[in-house]
Structure 1
Amino acid sequence: MASSSIGTGRPKTRGIVLNSIRAARTISRIELAARTGVTPATITQVVRELMDHGLVVEVGRGASTGGKPRTLLQLNPQARYAVGVLLERNICVLVIVDLNGRQVARTSFPGTALLPPEKALALVAAQVDALIDAAGVARERVLGVGLATYGPQDRQAGVLLTHMPTAEWFEYPIAQRLSKLLSLPVLLDNDAAAAAIGEYWLGAVKQGTYGCLYMASGLGGGVVVDGEVYRGSSSNGVAIGHITVDINGRPCGCGNYGCLANYADPSAVIEQALNESSLGRRLGLDPGDTDVMTAFRRIATAADAGDPDALRLIERSGRLLGTAAVTMASLFDLDLIVLAGPSLAAAASLYQSVIEEEVQRRTFVRPAHPVRVITSVSGSDAAAIGGAVLVLQGELAFLELGTPA
């Protein structure tokens, strides 16, 4: 690769250097120049700046290749932190991650489905403050908060474009309001996209291009291309829950007909279980219960235990999700699909087995290369961790370093 400066601004170059060091874990300056295409002189300047501000440290020397052993660099994980928030209708998960994307603190609490936005965000802010204090993290080292939630949404404006769970949430400035409550920058993002990029940062996925199927109370998807989330024109891409699986199916709230989510997501599975009176009764399901994920977990647990009725419903959901995985792999020519989110984690082995079977049998690209299906290393916390990771990825490049400490 020819060496050249990347871009016209130092922030972009700094972001490339930081991300390359993080991905490699330990790396020399010469290797950084070769990997990024940034000139050795610029690498030296950027690394010196990052070291002066404690973001990067030297950690000894690598093995000699015939000359002087090269000095190795790595990120200083305690230099900066980010908070990730999964804001779901039935559960909220909060995490703090260090500069390497490793989780250092976590908490969760029941969701905010029945609360108006103002009260819900005040509760989230109080929990974030408490978690930062409990973790002993200096607040000035916290870069910001990644707020991962469902869509559609206007990521730039920081608002949801959906009337769920209630009409009050539509176009409510959730990112701006939470930022004001916490006095920290808040980045709104899609939960499935956040879950997808989190896998890459944590090192669970080695290749830079792959897909993610994400299921919490709803169903979504994300695709990472060369280590970056595929955004589309409005950052609402890969809405896999709204592909049509039945052209004569019932209308969906999105405006489409026969959407996958209407047949395979947790609410659909619960509805199917309630229609099977004996199963719904055995599991104590209540048609008026708004806690979708708890009810779904009961069905998943029963399926794992071998209940034939519950197993049939989960397997049917898995076959339909297999259609989503096949579609995603065919559209983007993927060789890896990651399964993430609290609902998929509730029956991870069942879903993984069924979806992989569908992918191996039906994917268009299978004569060219295999397509693997794996479960997330982050499980039910994938979106929260990914939200924090997106803050690290976005904020570090443009961090005002100021005067060295």
Structure 2
Amino acid sequence: MELLVRRIAENKVAFVHQGVGGGTVTSPIWATRTKTRGMVLDLIRAARAISRVELVGATGLTAPTISEVVRELMVDGLVVEAGLGASTGGKRPMLVQLNPSARYSVGVQLERNTCVIVVVDLAGRQIARMSFSGVSSMPPERGLSSVATQVNALLDTAAVDRDKVLGVGLVSYGPQDRQAGVLLTPQPTEEWFGYPIADRLAESLGLPVLLDNDAAAAAIGEYWMGAVEPRSAYGCIYMATGIGGGVVIAGEVYRGSSSNGVEIGHISIDVNGDECPCGNRGCLENYAGPAAVVRQALTTPGLGQRLALDPAGDDFLTEFARLAAAANAGDPAARGLVERSARYLGYAAVTMATLFDLDTVVLAGPSFAVAGSIYQSVIQEEVDRRTFARRAHPVRVVPSVSGSDAAAIGGAVLVLQSELTLGRGRPTDSAQPLSPEGEAADATAV
């Protein structure tokens, strides 16, 4: 635990001791008071249970400062005492831990053919889940109304106090304008392009809504759930109907200039390939994505009929799951297609690892749920053989701890992170949208 806390603190304490221009702040509190609260709360979360003395050592703050911050967190109900820790030669210290039931958040994964909703507590534990057919056939007004109805029903079923719900993390494919809360793609239909989905859902629910990329959400969820080493640089390949990517460095998502980076599904693997709707040519998604693999199966003699694939269908998640199950069961044609898809994804993983010098690549999303072992094995083989820095350090390929719900859980985690960043509870105006940094639009420092 001490190593975990120290490594998290090393990555977070710097901003406490630096001013805006990088100069030293003689009193680390309280030009960044809310960030200090957030850092302490994050350390408590990561450690599960920790003493005030350990918090002093991890942050470099004074004992009175830590005592005051912990007291505030306890008054807010975010932290509770957890009994006495082990003695190090003197009096046994009192431990503190998160109060999981103090706050909740909701994650909504909006896919073309399915929608997944989860409710998690402050510790990130999933306490309720539901899924239903996607909203691709609906106009945005009706689709979002359906989502809002299901969110309300799930909160009621879980008996969650609405006053404790911090907000909703709405995650979907890109490109997006996270600041405006809109999708910049005519998918699933033209009506969704530029529609203010975050604002409209916030109005329907009376809760803040934060829009984000599904792959980025899945990536940060791994950090929150403790599945990766806190100081690591790791990537996430997210595969649902399409293919996306995310990179997290020391607990922070790589955003780029508009938060539309690491879209590995749209890197070109054939400069002379067919044009993709994104505008590029020969995109990875059109060779290795579930829709592409299903189409390949339909043109493989006998395979489509054997697996009862629907040539006119558009529910590629269901069709791909059937194909993946056949590959697992030993069908040679099905396995050959899945392994070819995995090989292409291996090339993409090598590209991602080389660009960002990653030490881990996480495989997340519903399309890895059935044939994940095949993908993991093949991608690991490519990474071991081809990564530029392989002689400096290994790159592990691992499955997501959140499985097929990684994006929805990650969306809820992004909202929880806003609590850690701000060090505050739910905004006074419950329908006020969250900014991409997690702050309410007019939030002020505590």
SS at match of 1:389: helix
Given that 1:6 and 1:37 are in contact with CA atoms closer than 8 Å, whether structure 2 keeps it comes out as no
Q: Deviations over 1:139-197 (max 9, x none)?
A: 10110000011000011110000011111010100000000000000000100011011
Normalising by the residue count of structure 1, what TM-score does the alignment of the two structures yield?
A: 0.96
Aligned residues: 403
Alpha-carbon separation, structure 1, partners of 2:61 and 2:249? 21
**Match for 1:357 among 381, 387, 398?**
381
Aligned-residue sequence identity (percent) comes to 67
Identify the residue that residue 419 of structure 2 maps to in structure 1. Answer: 395
- Of 335, 344, 363, the residue aligned with 1:320 is 344
The one-letter code of the counterpart of 1:15 is G
Equivalence for 1:160? 183
Contact 1:210–1:337 (CA<8 Å) still a contact in 2?
A: yes
* 3-state SS in 2 of match to 1:45: helix
In the alignment, what sits opposite 1:202? 225
Q: Say which of 64, 73, 76 aligns to 1:53.
A: 76
Given candidates 207, 212, 215, the residue that maps to 2:239 is 215
Alignment check: 8 A CA contact 1:53 1:401 kept: no
Q: CA deviation at 1:402?
A: 10
For residue 260 of structure 2, what is the amino acid of its counterpart? N
Q: Which residue of 1 aligns with 2:214?
A: 191
Q: Any idea what the Cα deviations from partners look like across 1:325-363, whole Å, max 9, x if unmatched?
A: 111111111111110000011211111111111111111
Give the equivalent residue in structure 2 for 1:227.
251
Q: Which residue identity is paired with 2:309?
A: L
What residue identity is the alignment partner of 1:284? A
**Are 2:118 and 2:128, in contact at CA under 8 Å, matched by a contact in 1?**
yes
The residue that corresponds to 2:308 in the other structure is: 284
Name the residue aligned to 1:110: 133
Give the CA RMSD over aligned residues.
1.7
TM-superposed deviation, 1:107: 0.7
Match of 1:269 among 259, 270, 293: 293
**Residue of structure 2 equivalent to 1:24:** 47
Q: Any conservation in 1 of the 2:166–2:426 contact (CA below 8 Å)?
A: no
User: SS of 1:41's equivalent?
Assistant: helix
Tell me which amino acid in the other structure corresponds to 2:388: F
The answer to whether the 8 A contact 1:6-1:12 is kept is no
The alpha-carbon deviation at position 36 of structure 1 amounts to: 2.9
Q: Distance in 2 between matches of 1:384 and 1:364?
A: 33
The answer on whether the counterparts of 1:274 and 1:287 sit within 8 Å (CA) in structure 2 is yes
- Which ranges of structure 2 fall in alignment gaps of 5 or more residues? 1-9, 18-27, 429-446
Deviation at 1:62, TM superposition (A): 1.7
Per-residue CA deviations over 1:195-232 (Å, capped at 9, x if unaligned) read 01111111122333211110001100111111111111
In the alignment, which residue of structure 2 is the partner of 1:76?
A: 99
Q: CA deviation at 1:285?
A: 1.7
The Cα of 1:397 is off from its aligned counterpart by: 3.6
Shift of 1:396: 4.4
CA deviation string 1:351-380 (max 9, x = no partner) = 111111111111111101111111011110
Task: Return the alpha-carbon distance in structure 2 between the equivalents of residues 393 and 287 of structure 1.
Answer: 43
1:125 counterpart letter in structure 2: A
Amino acid at match of 1:174: I
- What displacement does 1:6 show? 6.2
Partner of 2:109: 86
Write the letter of the residue equivalent to 2:409.
I
Q: Does the 8 Å contact 2:419/2:425 carry over to 1? A: no
**Per-residue deviation, 1:42:** 2.4
CA distance, structure 1, for counterparts of residue 286 and residue 370 of structure 2: 19
- Runs (5+) with no aligned partner, structure 1: none
Tell me how far 1:254 sits from its aligned partner: 1.3
Q: Distance in 1 between matches of 2:163 and 2:289?
A: 40
Residue 401 of structure 1 and its aligned partner are, at CA, apart by: 7.7
- Pairwise CA distance, 1:40: 3.1
Distance 1:336 1:396, change over 3 A: closer
Q: Compared with structure 1, are the counterparts of its residues 18 and 302 closer, same or farther at alpha carbon in structure 2 (3 Å cutoff)?
A: same
State the partner residue of 2:157.
Answer: 134
SS in 1 for 2:135: coil
Q: Distance in 2 between matches of 1:317 and 1:351?
A: 8
The separation in 2 between residues aligned to 1:397 and 1:299, in whole angstroms, is: 43
Structural mapping, 1:243-392, within 5 Å:
243-392=267-416
Match of 1:62 in 2: 85
Identify the residue that residue 438 of structure 2 maps to in structure 1: none
Quick check: 2:106–2:412 contact (8 Å CA) kept in 1? Answer: yes
After TM superposition, the structure 1 stretch with the greater mean CA deviation from structure 2, 279-288 or 299-308, is 279-288
Q: 1:70 to 1:262 in 2, by over 3 A?
A: same
AA paired with 2:95? L
The TM-score, its normalising length taken from structure 2, stands at: 0.87
Q: What amino acid sits opposite 2:350 in the alignment?
A: V
Cα distance in 1, alignment partners of residues 427 and 118 from structure 2? 27
Structure 1 distance, partners of 2:139, 2:146, is 11
Query: Retained in 2: the 8 A contact 1:323–1:358?
Result: yes
